[in-house]
């Protein structure tokens, strides 16, 4: 199980220290939420901050663009160290525009992801099974950390898992929003490959929280949680 802690939930007065804890944990990716104040009602980080994190860590830099103009930001984030760049299907909408964007991201030699919001039909991803490296299922409305997980996300994951397995697509499924032990376990059992988690990972002991998520669907962990 790949865990991608979300920088959005870090304590910004202790970023370096917390990054060292993430590096020492079992996390393999680092999730970087980019918000422009237009596509979502919040502002977050630009490429310069990613460059700083990239210097502090060898983790896979998993960049999630919640912006109206993704094209403008692809190269700056690649130059800053992005390994995966995910854009929102709702921003592009049209098949040709999505395909152009995926090709543009791939042209820099980085992996390309496509995200959908809770209100978007998962079937909108079906045309891109062979063209994406990652599908990001938003389990909350994008914009803020700490929101409750929407259980309707589970049926989307199951459908997507079935399509990926049936077509031989190599795409990974990632989930983002409201992920903690129980919701993480439900997502893993539904077929998720990557768990993005912000507030759950950064609330206390980072290493322990990541470890719990890595093993959330293991038999013993599940039994412990049930007892």
Count residues binding ligand DX5 (CB under 6 A). 21
Beta strands at 84-88 and 172-176: parallel, antiparallel or unpaired: unpaired
199 interacts with ligand DX5 by CB under 6 A: yes
State which of residues 3, 9, 22, 172 lies at the interface with ligand DX5 (CB under 6 A): 9
Q: Rounded to whole angstroms, how far apart are CA atoms 4 and 194?
A: 7
**146 dihedral zone (left: phi>0; alpha: psi -120 to 50; beta):** left
Shortest reach from residue 223's CB to Zn ion, in Å: 31
Cβ proximity to ligand DX5: between 37 and 146 the closer is 146
36 interacts with Zn ion by CB under 5 A: no
33 interacts with Zn ion by CB under 5 A: yes
DSSP 96-137: HHHHHHHHHHHTTT-EEEEEE-TTS-GGGGGGGTTT-SEEEE
137 interacts with ligand DX5 by CB under 6 A: no
Tokens of 10: 């870090």
Can 54 be counted among the known catalytic residues?
A: no
Where do we find the tokens 């994406």?
Answer: 132
Q: How far is CA 77 from the centre of its chain?
A: 16
**Among ligand DX5, Zn ion, none, residue 177 binds (CB under 5-8 Å by kind):** ligand DX5
Cβ proximity to Zn ion: between 23 and 42 the closer is 42
118 interacts with ligand DX5 by CB under 6 A: no
Q: How far is CA 34 from the centre of its chain?
A: 11
196 interacts with ligand DX5 by CB under 6 A: yes
Can 176 be counted among the known catalytic residues?
A: yes
Whole-Å CA distances, 51 to 40, 63, 76: 23, 12, 10
Q: Rounded to whole angstroms, how far apart are CA atoms 90 and 106?
A: 20
150 interacts with Zn ion by CB under 5 A: no
143 interacts with ligand DX5 by CB under 6 A: yes
Contact track, ligand DX5, 66-105, x by CB under 6 A:
----------------------------------------
Closest-CA residue to 187 (of 138, 126, 227, 224): 138
**Among Zn ion, ligand DX5, none, residue 179 binds (CB under 5-8 Å by kind):** ligand DX5
Binding site for ligand DX5 (CB under 6 A): 6, 8-9, 31, 33, 64, 140, 142-143, 145-147, 176-179, 196-200
Active site residues: 33, 176
């Amino acid at each position: 199980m790949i865990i991608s802690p979300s920088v959005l939930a870090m304590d910004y007065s202790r970023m370096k220290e917390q990054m060292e804890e993430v590096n020492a944990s079992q996390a393999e990716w680092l999730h970087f939420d980019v918000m422009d104040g237009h596509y979502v009602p919040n502002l977050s980080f630009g490429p310069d901050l990613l460059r700083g994190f990239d210097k502090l860590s060898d983790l896979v830099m998993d960049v999630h663009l919640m912006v109206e103009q993704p094209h403008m930001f692809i190269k700056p984030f690649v130059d800053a160290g992005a390994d995966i760049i995910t854009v929102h299907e709702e921003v592009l909408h049209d098949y040709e525009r999505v395909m152009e964007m995926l090709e543009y991201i791939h042209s820099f030699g980085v992996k390309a992801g496509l995200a959908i919001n809770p209100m978007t039909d998962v079937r909108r991803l079906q045309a891109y099974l062979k063209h994406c490296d990652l599908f990001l299922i938003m389990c909350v409305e994008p914009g803020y950390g700490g929101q409750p997980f929407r259980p309707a996300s589970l049926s989307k994951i199951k459908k997507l898992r079935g399509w990926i397995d049936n077509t031989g697509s190599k795409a990974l499924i990632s989930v983002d929003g409201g992920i903690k032990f129980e919701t993480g376990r439900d997502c893993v059992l539904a077929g998720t490959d990557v768990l993005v988690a912000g507030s759950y990972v950064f609330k206390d002991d980072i290493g322990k929280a990541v470890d719990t998520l890595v093993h959330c669907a293991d038999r013993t962990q599940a039994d412990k949680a049930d007892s």
